[in-house]
Amino acid sequence: MEIVKVNTGVPYEVLIGAGLLDRAGELTGEAVSGRRVMILSDDRVAPLYLERTEEAFRRAGFAAAHFVFPAGEAHKTLATVERALEAAEKAGLTRSDLFAALGGGLTGDITGLAAALFLRGVDFVQIPTTLLAMVDASVGGKTAVNLRQGKNLCGAFHQPRRVLCDPETLRTLPREVYAEGMAEVIKHGALGGEELLDRIVHGEPLENLIADNVRLKSGIVSLDERESGLRQKLNLGHTFGHGVEKLTGFSIYHGEGVSIGLMIAAFAAEHHGLCRPGVWKELRGMLTREGLPVTTCFSAAEIAGAARNDKKRRGDRITLVLPESRGQSRLYPLAVSELDEFIACCDGTVTGIKEE
Ligand SMILES: NC(=O)c1ccc[n+]([C@@H]2O[C@H](COP(=O)([O-])OP(=O)(O)OC[C@H]3O[C@@H](n4cnc5c(N)ncnc54)[C@H](O)[C@@H]3O)[C@@H](O)[C@H]2O)c1
Ligand SMILES: [Zn+2]
């Protein structure tokens, strides 16, 4: 088992190892004082893992109840959170009890927010079951739901007490959902130093791959819990990726958007002499091997237009994250009015590719 410490205000550990799911109760019991748990899960994950998880909690002396909601972004809403809170109240949860998120990043977001709100805040643990949730969403304490106007517009910072990653649960993951996680892993490779990048390129056992990525994210989050500077680097590929997601009406996977966004950032950076040559090509090879898209039919102008409205933008400037050499990326503030021109070079290579 690998253990990664996350040094946020209230520190916690991420445990990674095969078979952890069946030890969820015992390992949670070490980190919290409450003995009543409300497990949240969506209706795809619940049939696969809920019974085993509840059983694991009961074996460790917990009173366990559950709340299952429909899978999909359309249900990542305050309405779902409200129903979860009511279920928790009905199950008799008190201030000292806890929630557990069993599922992907979506379940983690809903559960974290429910835990932040219930009785003005109770503990929660994360049991992520997607690669994306393990390497990205379950670390950092960001929780949110969607509003009609956009994704993740309503949320809170609330750190989990523990995160339990059992790589065996990834076996049931659809290939495209697994690839989404790899998009974030490759993004980490592009900003987390050459050593990490090399380990990702050469391939390593899943447990180590997850631990490496959690270590990187937790290192950054520990230094910048509330996303003022350094943590912005994790947005690499996301400004343009989000633009592409928006243009498709969010019909592509988030990881697919990130993959294309990473390609735009890397290609434009190389074109403007801000990045060593070869970085774009290597990243493109890595993404392609995972079956992720590296081009899009949308033009640079369309993507710049969609990215202009990014919520991460401050005033009339936008902070891009750009690769600068193997394993290194930097923050690059740019006037919003220059965005269009900055990525126009991508047309014909990454963007505006019609024969898809
Ligand atoms: N809080 C954060 O820091 C953060 C970071 C990144 C993403 N997110 C959020 O996470 C969500 C995306 O995460 P995700 O990709 O994990 O999405 P998800 O939770 O929707 O999971 C994707 C799909 O896989 C299914 N699934 C999950 N685990 C499974 C398993 N082991 N076997 C079979 N099927 C399984 C789910 O039911 C779902 O249909 C988005 O809502 C995003 O906004 C949050
Ligand atoms: Zn992402």
Fold adopted by 2-172 = Rossmann fold (3.40.50)
Q: What is the pLDDT of residue 192?
A: 94
Answer yes or no: 158 catalytic. Answer: no
Whether the predicted pLDDT of 244 surpasses 90: yes
| Average pLDDT, integer, range 125-137 | 97
Q: What stretch of H or E contains 178?
A: helix 175-191
E-strand stretches of the chain: 2-6, 12-16, 36-42, 63-69, 98-103, 123-128, 142-147, 150-157, 162-165, 317-325, 328-335
Rounded to an integer, what distance in angstroms lies between the CA atom of residue 129 and that of residue 122? 22
Task: Return residue ranges of the chain for CATH 1.20.1090.10.
Answer: 176-346
Rounded to an integer, what distance in angstroms lies between the CA atom of residue 109 and that of residue 235? 18
Q: What is the pLDDT of residue 150?
A: 83
Q: What is the pLDDT of residue 230?
A: 76
User: Mean pLDDT, the chain, as a whole number?
Assistant: 95
Answer yes or no: 168 catalytic. Answer: no
Whether the predicted pLDDT of 131 surpasses 70: yes
Between strands 63-69 and 2-6, the pairing is: unpaired
Q: Using CA positions, which residue lies closest to atom 21 of ligand 1?
A: 104
**What pLDDT digit, counting tens, does each position of 160-206 carry?**
999 999 999 999 999 999 999 999 999 999 999 999 999 999 999 99
- 128 alpha carbon, closest ligand: 1
Q: Using CA positions, which residue lies closest to atom 12 of ligand 1?
A: 105
Q: What are phi and psi of 76, to 5 degrees?
A: -85, 75
**What pLDDT digit, counting tens, does each position of 323-345 carry?**
999 999 999 999 999 999 999 99
| Average pLDDT, integer, range 83-90 | 98
| Average pLDDT, integer, range 126-138 | 96
- 242 alpha carbon, closest ligand: 2
Of the pLDDT bands very low, low, confident and very high (cuts 50, 70, 90), residue 221 is confident
Pick 222 or 236 by higher pLDDT: 236
**Any idea what DSSP says for residue 101?**
E
**Any idea what DSSP says for residue 43?**
T
Q: Using CA positions, which residue lies closest to atom 7 of ligand 1?
A: 137
Whether the predicted pLDDT of 314 surpasses 80: no
Rounded to an integer, what distance in angstroms lies between the CA atom of residue 161 and that of residue 159? 7
Three-state SS annotation for 15-39: EECCCHHHHHHHHHHCCCCCCEEEE
Ligand 1 binding pocket mutation candidate from 20, 21, 43, 44 (most atoms within 8 A of CB): 44
CATH code of 176-346, in short, is 1.20.1090.10
Q: What is the pLDDT of residue 138?
A: 87
Q: Using CA positions, which residue lies closest to atom 19 of ligand 1?
A: 104
Q: Which residues contact residue 281 at a Cβ distance below 8 angstroms, ignoring those fewer than 6 apart?
A: none
Answer yes or no: 238 catalytic. Answer: yes
Of 163, 173, 52, the C-alpha closest to 101 is 163
Ligand 1 binding pocket mutation candidate from 8, 14, 40, 45 (most atoms within 8 A of CB): 45
| Average pLDDT, integer, range 202-230 | 87
Whether the predicted pLDDT of 356 surpasses 60: no
Pick 291 or 222 by higher pLDDT: 291
Answer yes or no: 66 catalytic. Answer: no
Structure-block tokens of residue 150: 């956009």
Give the pTM: 0.94
Task: Return residue ranges of the chain for CATH 3.40.50.1970.
Answer: 2-172
